[in-house]
Amino acid sequence: MTEQTSYDYIICGAGSAGCVLANRLSEDGSSVLLLEAGGPDDHDAIHTPMRILELFMSEHDWAYMTAPQKHAKGRSLYWPRGKTLGGSSATNGMIYVRGSASDYDHWAQELGCTGWDYKSVLPYFKKSEDFDRGESEFHGKGGPLHVTSDFEPHPLHKAMLNAAVEAGHPYNDDTNGASPLGVAYVDLTVKDGKRHSTAQAYLAPVRARPNLMVKTGAWVLKIVIEDGRAVGVEYGTKDGSGTVKANREVLVSLGTLESPRLLMLSGIGPKAHLEEFGIEVKRDLPGVGQNLHDHNLLPVIYEAAKEIPATTDMGLTPLHVHLFAKTDPALPGPDMQPLFFNLPYYTPEMEQPTGNAFTLAAAGVRPTSRGEIRLTSADPRAPLHLDPNVLATDYDVQTLVTSIKQVREIARQPALAEWKGREIYPGEDKQSDAELVDYARQAVSSYHHQCGTCKMGIDDMAVVDPTLKVRGISGLRVVDASIFPFVMAGNTNAPTIMVAEKAADLIRQDARE
């Protein structure tokens, strides 16, 4: 497509959501401009699942760090985010999880997000999916995103799954089916042994459309707002800056960390905070940057009693098994999702006595702690103040303690006897709840599932309404994980893709009216 000065739609960010929007909105001939600050997804490590760890702290990673966390021993947590076409779908663990039906029913029935109940969103999960086992009540076939569920697991992972069953957890053949509960092999966004990011699934097949323009290395600086309407964006490249007009809508899909920044730099956000930096207030929305939350991951690491064989299939990842469980049987859905790795998942602060080790990572996936994102400058490239306020609630801490006890019980089962040596972390000497709480605070890390900072809803802190329109500004929507009012109990990539699929229909419906 030849470069022009106006487009029907301008999409800010070519990540998990932005690539979906670019595909769907350009289907009918509408002109679409997709702007991405990162580079092309042309590095082999992006496409080779077993090379995932090479992407951390690389040129393809924004490598954010949080503010020191007062409930986690003053540690700053590392948050990788994809700096490339496909965004974090090009750098994540490729686990395809939708969450529990109760998560979406909670959005709709208790948080006022009409149209986002599970029955309403399931068709969009199915529309996006190309499931290797074929179409069913819960799965789609022929969609853009290939989901691989059948593969040969690593022998240690087989032992881990069997140990979980021995510990009393049911085996679940489909965690994206009727219920996620139980232990299961993961579903992977992998196709023919290669990562299937949204850049590959949604964008690559349509790059040749004459009405779609994709620009990498293009940093969106500001949304242009006139008389309460978003009419375009300013963006910068290595060659300078420019302004482009949106005839219909500006769509912000920069992710949980950058979408609120762009809104604030454009004058949309908490009035007093914007005025600190001399930003003209276009709309006082106190919820922008608030409600920041994330899943909590806590490694429980065992030295291996024998050599762990390398995974020879480069189309797989070091994570083949996960478990969904409840801290309380009365809960409508799971609040723990331990992950089982065939390698040691050390945090940066940990001593690393051996590489021949494996991890049963405790996890809390219904966190109640909430934090915030704030500007540190009106410069779009300045560091953000990222404070998730991790482990601020007793519930979040106790969930991790419960999860530690749960994975330790799994490790004690006969199926893992030939593999398990000493417990390296937290260590067998740490048995009391107080000791486990202390360990949780010193070793908690991120699941890399940040969300919520432009939350959808109908209350005063909502940033977007249930059609994802920014409150009080026309021609502007946010479409990414920042709109989740409460994170689902599971990985966030598949739900982000679902949100974009549904958003595309909402946008096209408005264009027809």
What's the mean pLDDT in 241-270?
A: 98
Write the CB contacts of 504 (distance below 8 Å, at least 6 apart in sequence): 20, 21, 24, 25
pLDDT at 49 over 70: yes
Calpha distance 446→444 (Å, rounded): 7
pLDDT of residue 93: 97
**CA angle, 454 then 459 then 464, to 5°:** 35
Confidence label for 3 from pLDDT (cuts 50, 70 and 90):
confident
pLDDT of residue 421: 98
Looking at 56-212, list the stretches that DSSP marks H as alpha helix, in order from N- to C-terminal side.
101-110, 118-128, 155-166, 198
- Evaluate whether 412 touches 327 at the Cβ level (below 8 Å): no
Domains in the chain: boundaries: 1-94+196-292+451-513, 152-186+296-364+391-443
pLDDT tens digits, 280-301? 999 999 999 999 999 999 999 9
Relative to beta strand 32-36, strand 6-12 is parallel
Calpha distance 376→49 (Å, rounded): 36
- Evaluate whether 170 touches 164 at the Cβ level (below 8 Å): no
Matching fold, domains 1-94+196-292+451-513 and 152-186+296-364+391-443: no
Calpha distance 417→413 (Å, rounded): 7
For 297, how many CA atoms within 13 A lie in the half-sphere containing its CB? 26
Instruction: Spot the catalytic one: 106, 322, 448, 449.
Output: 448
What percent of the chain shows pLDDT beyond 70? Answer: 100
In a 10 Å sphere around its CB, with 0-12 CB exposed, 13-18 middle and 19+ buried, how is residue 376 labelled?
exposed
Confidence label for 2 from pLDDT (cuts 50, 70 and 90):
low
What's the mean pLDDT in 142-148?
A: 98
Looking at 389-492, list the stretches that DSSP marks H as alpha helix, in order from N- to C-terminal side.
394-411, 433-443
pLDDT at 179 over 80: yes
pLDDT of residue 292: 98
Q: What is the CA radius of gyration of the chain?
A: 22
Torsion, Cα 395 397 403 408, to 10 degrees, reads -150
**CATH of 1-94+196-292+451-513 given 3.50.50.60, 1.10.1740.10, 3.90.1640.10, 3.90.1300.10:** 3.50.50.60
- At 385, list the tokens: 């103040």
pLDDT tens digits, 303-351? 999 999 999 899 999 999 999 999 999 999 999 999 999 999 999 999 9
pLDDT tens digits, 58-103? 999 999 999 999 999 999 999 999 999 999 999 999 999 999 999 9
Q: Is 448 a catalytic residue?
A: yes
Confidence label for 1 from pLDDT (cuts 50, 70 and 90):
low
pLDDT of residue 513: 84
Quote the strand ranges of 253-395, DSSP E. Answer: 268-269, 283-284, 290-292, 296-298, 301-304, 319-324, 339-341, 357-364, 371-374, 385-387
Of 248, 97, 106, 117, nearest to 174 by C-alpha is 97
Quote the strand ranges of 72-113, DSSP E. Answer: 78-79
The CATH architecture one would assign to domain 152-186+296-364+391-443 is: 2-Layer Sandwich (3.30)
Mean pLDDT of the chain: 97
What's the mean pLDDT in 478-493?
A: 98
- Evaluate whether 49 touches 313 at the Cβ level (below 8 Å): no
